[in-house]
Each structure stands twice: as structure tokens, then as C-alpha cells.
Amino acid sequence: MGPFLLVTIQIDLYDRLALNLETDLVNMVHKTGARGVLIDISAVSIVDSFMGRILGNIASMTRVLDAETVVVGMQPAVAITLIELGLSLTGVHTALDVERGMALLQSKLDPDEELANDNDNDVE
């Protein structure tokens, strides 16, 4: 199994930076052969249609490279707003936090291992 990439977005990105992130990430997946990408957006206070589209693009491009993308840590206010805006983030997996995102990725790549994980899940 290839490694996972973890990307933490620390600031509200303006468009060019968000587009750079898209290209950089896709290149990194290609270069490292990563099978999974975790994008931590817990520090992001606004996801508008532009940012939402970038997340969707990353998910579909990485899928072509045989990797899954999970967006983690979306703030509840952001999630509520996205739904009202009408942006569905189709094809983007989401998880509450990095740990759960990681578990989700693992289960996607290796369903058997996920069962083992479930059994010794002693977190919290």
C-alpha cells in the first residue's frame, strides 16, 4: 500500500493559491504513488463554490491516479452553508477528523484491515 498524503489548509486561500494546491497535490500523488489524500480544512472558515469545486477536482483527479481523497474537519457552520448554497461535493469523501479520515482511507484500500481496526478501536 502506498503512503497517504496529509494536507492541512491553514488559511483562507485566494483563488490562485487554491488552484496551485490542486496542481501540487495531483503532482504529489503522481510522484509518490500515494493511495490516499487527506485534506484537513478545520482551519478554513469559508468554502464557497470555487473552493468546493477545487476539492471536487482534487478528488476526481486523484481518483484517476488510483488514490482516494477524504476531506476532514469541515466546520459545522461551513457544512450547513454549503448545503444551503446547493453545493453537494459529489465524489468527495468527508470525515470528522484526521484519525477517522485515515480509517476511512484504510477501509477503502483494504476492507479486511478495516475489520481488524474496528475490533481494536480503543480510541476515546
Partner 1 sequence: MITTLSKDNVSITREQDVVPFRNRVKEQAVRIGMGLVNQTKLITAASELVRNMIRYAGQGEVRIEVVSKGREAGIRLIFSDNGPGIPDINLAMQDGYSTGKSLGLGLPGTRRLVNEFDIKSTVGQGTTVTILKWKNG
Binding footprint of partner 1 on the chain (CB under 8 A) = 12-16, 45-50, 53, 75-78, 80-81, 84-87
- CA distances from residue 68 to 39, 71, 98 in whole angstroms, order as listed: 11, 10, 14
CB of 14 to partner 1, least distance (A): 5
We find the least distance from the C-beta atom of residue 69 to partner 1, in angstroms, to be 19
Nearest to 21 by CA among 62, 72, 73: 62
* Amino acid of residue 87: L
Q: Which residue has the cell 477524504?
A: 70
Q: How many CA atoms lie within 13 A of 85 on its CB side?
A: 17
Q: Phi, psi at residue 41, to the nearest 5°?
A: -110, 25
57 or 106: CB nearest partner 1: 57
Instruction: Using the minimum distance from each CB to partner 1, give the nearer residue, 1 or 80.
Output: 80
Instruction: Provide, rounded to whole angstroms, the least separation between the CB of residue 71 and partner 1.
Output: 16
CB nearer to partner 1: give 76 or 111.
Answer: 76
Residue (89 or 104) nearer to partner 1, CB: 89
CB of residue 35 to partner 1, shortest distance in Å: 29
For 21, 78, 95, 118, the CA distances from 112, given in Å and listed in that order, are 33, 34, 20, 10
